């Protein structure tokens, strides 16, 4: 079961015994955030991602157009790891990201483990 949680709540839960690596996917060292446009859409050209128990995984980009999807979308978080995991975001979770909220999902199980992934559009 997936649930929406705040970044603070996720970090508090994740750091109670699990190493947590914060990633800025597709960043160029730019810490600026993109404000919603006049039409109300939110740009998500890069995503702020926290992957619990990480060892090289990375969520690259959630395209802004994906935030309007009416069906679930699946993304790879392979990054530089020797194996891949995927995450699936429901249409509801994509809409939450568009609204500026963070969502937490559990990756697929590969190499006998999975990861809790916190995602937010920045």
Q: Which residue has the tokens 């603070």?
A: 8
CA-to-CA distance for 73 and 35, rounded, in angstroms? 24
User: How open is the CA angle 114-100-80, to the nearest 5 degrees?
Assistant: 35
pLDDT in tens, 51-93: 998 999 998 888 889 999 999 999 999 999 999 999 999 999 9
Residue 54 gets the label, from left (phi > 0), alpha (psi -120 to 50) or beta, of: beta
pLDDT in tens, 109-118: 999 999 999 9
* pTM of model > 0.95: no
Question: DSSP assignment of 93-105, as one string?
Answer: HHHHHHTT--EEE
């Amino acid at each position: 079961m997936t649930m929406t949680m705040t970044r603070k709540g996720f970090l508090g839960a994740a750091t109670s015994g699990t190493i947590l690596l914060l990633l800025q996917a597709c960043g160029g060292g730019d810490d600026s955030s993109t404000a919603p446009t006049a039409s109300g859409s939110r740009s998500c050209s890069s995503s702020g991602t926290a992957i619990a128990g990480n060892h090289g995984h990375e969520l690259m980009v959630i395209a802004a157009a994906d935030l309007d999807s009416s069906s679930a979308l699946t993304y790879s978080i392979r990054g530089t790891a020797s194996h891949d995991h995927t995450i699936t975001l429901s249409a509801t979770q994509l809409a939450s990201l568009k609204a500026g909220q963070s969502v937490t999902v559990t990756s697929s199980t590969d190499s006998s483990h999975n990861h809790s992934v916190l995602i937010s559009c920045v």
